[in-house]
Structure 1
Amino acid sequence: TGWRPKRTVIYAAWDGEEPGLLGSTEWVETHMEELRRHAVLYVNSDSNGRGFLYVGGSHTLEKFINEVARDVVDPQKKISAGERERARRIVQGSAEERREARGRADLRIAALGSGSDFTPFLQHLGVASLNIGYGGEDGGGSYHSIYDSFVHYTRFGDPGFDYGIALAQTGGRIILRFADADYLPLSFNNLTDTVAVYVNELTKLSDDTREEIKETNLRLSDKTFEAVSDPTETYIAPRREAPAPHLNFAPLQNALARLQDSTNKFETVMRDPVTRSHLSSKKAQMSLDAALLEVEHAMTRGEGLPRRPWFKHQLYAPGFYTGYGVKTLPGVREAIEQRNWSEADQQISVVSATIVKIAEQIDRATAAATGSR
């Protein structure tokens, strides 16, 4: 047909994944400057099986991937992959997941930590990323074992490759829609909502940690631990800790309010027919694209995280001690978990400044979308 995508699409099959993500990491570091200028999306798929659609990634993409999931048909149930995952959360999820599955328009996607090749793109460069795959009904247990084979997969994993086709349809829609969009299909309402959840979690974590320290010290004073210890075994009392201070989360709350205001303005402008008319020109589209690309970059910080300068993303990171598992707003969260109160206070300022920087870049995107009218 002569069709060509509006954006370059690069396909990669990475070597060296198991020994520290060496293949993807070295490639990203080698091409860092070009990727920083031009890369707008990285889509990862590590493994696939039979069952439900799993998506983790950048929350600027949450609305976009929900739209894709609504258009992919589950090969077993003949309903959309998104609808089937929503049903799973209602039946198998926590009370909060059930409530949101019934009442929230978009399904939440997971935040990404590490463990696969999205890591250098997201955590080091700040490129919007997705990790996709199907699973949950294929039994599991074979990964990284002698049974992780073609024979096992065709007998027990996904006989007929139905979900291999579903994964191709999911990834294909993501790539085609992103590559051929007039401007990047990013949205910030879900991002802002997610950051608000993270801020509330930090406040609760701080309160719970302070109460935990207080209770432990009280039990030591009352000799409660000693009273319940087994006299036939060696007793070692917990260490008494200094009382935890009350952290000032006002800078984070103020930054969140700033982000909400910028998001509201952007989303309002993008619904305006006058904006749509302005964005019909190639020059306006390129201007908006450039501004949207920098929103993702604004989530990183050149100095990186405490003791981990390579990890530059301030909203998501693999845990310092937990590896694969994600820590959200990691600078503050891990400082609280480690009872490093001075660092927690300092990181509140750092993360607040990052959130304000994101809001300022969204404002630039709003100006680009309107031609600063």
Structure 2
Amino acid sequence: MTFWLTALLVWIAAGARVGRVLVKPATTARVAIVIAVAAVALACTAAIPDVGLAIDNLLPAGLPPGLLSEGVVVGAWLLFVTATSVVASAAWPVVSRRNLRQIAWGIYGAGALTVLAALFWTSTAGWVVIAAAGAFVVVTGLRNLSWTALGRGIAVYITGTATVVVLAVAQVRRGLTGVAGAEAGQPGWAWPVWQAAALLIAFGAVWIVVEMWVRARLLLRRVRVLHRVLVKRFPEVVQEETGTATQLKASDRVAQIMDALYLQSGGGVEIATAGEPPAAVAARAQRVARWVRHPLGPSRVDARWIAPPEGMSPRGWVQAIAQAFDAEPEPASSTEVSVR
């Protein structure tokens, strides 16, 4: 059952990457990621005992059991490291966008020759190439790690790739020492580790998509009350949302809140009594939130206070205001105060 579940999850990740290519420009790197994840899904599918047995039944009787299914698995992992090497090549400074496509075709050509060699000669040669190319991918990934959504996705992806490298080295050792492979229809060597590596690669490939969706959902939840109050005062800021996707909706809400704050501040009029905004983000957000909650109160805010602090994005600034707004007590009267 775990074989089928792993294959299903990896195929879902491959479908998610296909969807991303359809909504964004199909660059060489994005297409290579789709190929890489689809290759992992193919390897997981061919490793399913029932599927492997069905593949081997395509060969004439009398041939060694597991020959064709093993070749498919090795070829799929070769396709994975080949496509991932294309993505890794794009991260090196010596490779420009202009020559990346030519380099990619060269890598794909070398990968195709290796797949043929693994199928018609020996699978050990394929595992050697998988280990070497995987090591190149891991080294490149380690050079580009950062605490960002992309960096975290790379970390998960190269963790799975490093696991594949270790397993490929073990397969080479088994091949050189003459250890017999698994019987047809039986789980291969260290299959739980292979499944874990495949899931890590699939999860790393879609990490940025999942994280951005989760962050957008959290943003929508945090700014819900602030957005409702400001849109009720200034309904004109809601013209037409750019889409129904969660990320686009979150961006629309941030823009609408910033527009409403700007309108309530007087549309760019500088108020002398407002003073200079402090450098502390928390104190500044608290002042703006108090002013939104009590627009006719003693607090005065102008466009200088509305603008995001230096080094802070509008999204982060709106979240800070929304957090302070939720902590601000309600006015004594429940009647909405007009600021027109």
Q: Under a length normalisation based on structure 2, what TM-score does the superposition of the two structures give?
A: 0.22
Based on CA coordinates, which of the two structures has the bigger radius of gyration? 2
Q: Under a length normalisation based on structure 1, what TM-score does the superposition of the two structures give?
A: 0.20
Q: Which protein is richer in strand relative to its size? A: 1
Larger relative contact order (Cα-Cα within 8 Å, sequence gap ≥ 6): 1
